[in-house]
């Protein structure tokens, strides 16, 4: 389980997600929307550290989304 306050993530959450491309797309879209709101309104508590972590999370979501799409395409070709 992850602890959002400490930034710690257990090993089970570091493994590749079994989420479908559609699920990852939805998750990434919601996260992008929240990120954009933070960037637009820049609340006083939104630090550079928060921003850096959010940018890294967006990058990781995009990579996962691309991997899931590639896996789905390979499984369609095989089946």
Residue 33 token pair: 């929307």
Q: What is the pTM of this model?
A: 0.67
Which is higher by pLDDT, 21 or 79? 21
Q: What is the mean pLDDT of residues 61-78?
A: 86
Q: How confident is the model at residue 3 (pLDDT cuts 50, 70, 90)?
A: low
**Hey, where are the domains in the chain?**
20-78
Q: 3 in helix, strand or coil?
A: strand
pLDDT tens readout for residues 22-52: 888 898 899 999 999 999 999 999 999 999 9
């Amino acid at each position: 389980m992850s602890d959002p306050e400490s930034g710690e993530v257990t090993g089970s959450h570091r493994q590749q997600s079994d989420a479908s491309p559609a699920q990852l797309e939805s998750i990434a879209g919601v996260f992008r929307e929240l990120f954009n709101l933070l960037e637009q309104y820049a609340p006083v508590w939104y630090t550079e550290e928060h921003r850096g972590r959010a940018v890294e999370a967006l990058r990781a979501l995009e990579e996962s989304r691309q991997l899931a799409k590639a896996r789905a395409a390979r499984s369609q070709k095989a089946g």
